[in-house]
A and B are shown apart, each in its own frame.
Chain A
Amino acid sequence: DSGVTQTPKHLITATGQRVTLRCSPRSGDLSVYWYQQSLDQGLQFLIQYYNGEERAKGNILERFSAQQFPDLHSELNLSSLELGDSALYFCASSVDGWPSYNEQFFGPGTRLTVL
């Protein structure tokens, strides 16, 4: 158990819909990262937040957005969902911010299925 929690575990929705994935980092970690893992694209870095501020952006679509709240939990919002958005979404946390060379601890993931 990494100490990172993600909810929900599974999410099934329809194209065009909007969903919110939630992540609680390990106690004491200030950075939160979001990743998308799909069969054809592998593990893709989406975005990083540090202590409430966006720190780095990867391959995140404009339809996706994230935020980190004062209690350090983070939410990833996915809108206008397409079939290709079906994937495992992982949240990770680390103690440091930017640049980040410390270990990232991954949560168990949220499996999103878009029908």
Chain B
Amino acid sequence: QQQVKQSPQSLIVQKGGISIINCAYENTAFDYFPWYQQFPGKGPALLIAIRPDVSEKKEGRFTISFNKSAKQFSLHIMDSQPGDSATYFCAASTGNQFYFGTGTSLTVIP
């Protein structure tokens, strides 16, 4: 059973556009929601993370929107750039159990 459901599986966006990736979870014990970025041949790297006491967190062009009642959270990448082309994973954690989404392959077309 997939603890964190991520969509879409792949995404193609024009340069300058907005990329949106969505995740949903069921376990209300999750209290930490990071997003990871992974380039081919590399390990995942933390992009941005949020705790459930806030509804939005922004770091540069990257924003997490969090809806606790709907048990959903999403990553928005503003002004998407070709260098953002990578696989993005959402994750949810209780602090001692870590669950990842299945990943979204983002391609930003110049």
Chain A interface (Cβ < 8 Å from any Cβ of B): 2, 4, 33, 42-45, 48, 55-56, 58, 90, 92, 98-101, 103-109
Name the contact of B99 in the complex, choosing from A45, A90, A108 (C-beta under 8 A). Answer: A45
Note all chain B residues with C-beta closer than 8 A to A106: 36, 43-45
Which stretch in B18-26, B57-65, B72-80, B89-97 binds the other chain?
Answer: B89-97
Closest 5 CB pairs between A and B?
A: A99-B95, A106-B43, A56-B96, A43-B100, A45-B98
Name the contact of A100 in the complex, choosing from B41, B44, B89, B95 (C-beta under 8 A). Answer: B95
Q: Given that A42-B101, A43-B89, A101-B32 are contacting pairs, would A108 and B43 also be in contact in the complex, using a CB cutoff of 8 Å?
A: yes
Besides A42-B103, A45-B98, A108-B43, 10 other A-B contacts (C-beta < 8 A): A43-B89, A43-B103, A56-B96, A56-B97, A90-B43, A98-B96, A100-B93, A101-B95, A103-B34, A106-B36
A9–B49 Cα distance when bound, in Å, is 29
Note all chain A residues with C-beta closer than 8 A to B96: 48, 55-56, 98-100
Chain B interface (Cβ < 8 Å from any Cβ of A): 32, 34, 36, 41-46, 49, 51, 89, 93-103
A32 CB to closest chain B CB (Å) equals 13
Q: Which residue of A is nearest B32, CB measured?
A: A101
A90 CB to closest chain B CB (Å) equals 5
Note all chain A residues with C-beta closer than 8 A to B42: 108
Note all chain A residues with C-beta closer than 8 A to B93: 100-101
Note all chain A residues with C-beta closer than 8 A to B101: 42
A42–B96 Cα distance when bound, in Å, is 19
Q: Across the interface, do B97 and A104 meet the contact criterion of CB distance under 8 Å? A: no
